[in-house]
Amino acid sequence: MHRILYNIDRIIHPSPEDKAAFENIIRQRTLQKNEYFLREGEVCQKIAFIEKGSVRLYYDVEGKEICKDFLFENALIGSFASFLSQMPSGVNIAAMEETLLLELEYQDVMHLFATYSSWQKLGHIIVQDQFVRAECREASLLKDPPEVRYKNLIEEHPKVFKRVPLQYIASYLSITPETLSRYRSKSKR
């Protein structure tokens, strides 16, 4: 929990009282490889910070998994649309490796937001970040050719190939595994 609290402290500088309120509601949980944090159709009742490990977010489209995102240490996970609306999620979230999470329940998060201005501030920062990430991802999928998406992924996340199976990367880039192999071969020359 020290990494997450350190990073939060750098961003919003919560008071000792605010920190204590956060520490009192957060719960550790370990997901095993391939274990689900959330399944499509469930209402997202928790969000979680990744202390160690990684998860993938994906949609099941006619029996085919379409990768939406990969998240690693320090990221916040959950179906934010489901969490905020308390409606069923359209996304699946599963661990790609053993993953240590710091979970927060819906009611506890709402209490933090209602009671502590520092946690409201963090909530606003997280929502802004999610909107920016979503818009950039959408723009890239609509405007950039696959090879540009591949190069951008390598630049933004150079270690992704060490931690994420290739079939998930190909799905994330909306290309076939064979095309991904060609891009990788070209970039090694």
Mean pLDDT per 10-residue segment, the chain (189 residues):
82 92 95 98 97 96 93 94 96 98 97 94 93 93 93 89 93 93 83
Does residue 46 share a domain with residue 106? yes
Does residue 19 share a domain with residue 34? yes
Does residue 164 share a domain with residue 120? no
- For residue 29, give every residue at least 6 positions away whose Cβ sits within 8 Å of its Cβ, in sequence order, or none: 48, 100, 101, 102, 103
* The pLDDT value given to residue 78: 97
Does residue 23 share a domain with residue 101? yes
- For residue 58, give every residue at least 6 positions away whose Cβ sits within 8 Å of its Cβ, in sequence order, or none: 65, 66, 67, 68, 91, 92, 94, 168, 171
Does residue 185 share a domain with residue 103? no
* The pLDDT value given to residue 19: 92
Helix boundaries (H) for the chain: 2-12, 16-25, 80-85, 106-115, 117-143, 146-156, 160-163, 166-173, 177-188
* The pLDDT value given to residue 3: 83
Does residue 139 share a domain with residue 54? yes
Closest CA to 65 of 89, 91, 28: 91
Whole-structure pTM value: 0.90
* The pLDDT value given to residue 187: 79
* The pLDDT value given to residue 189: 62
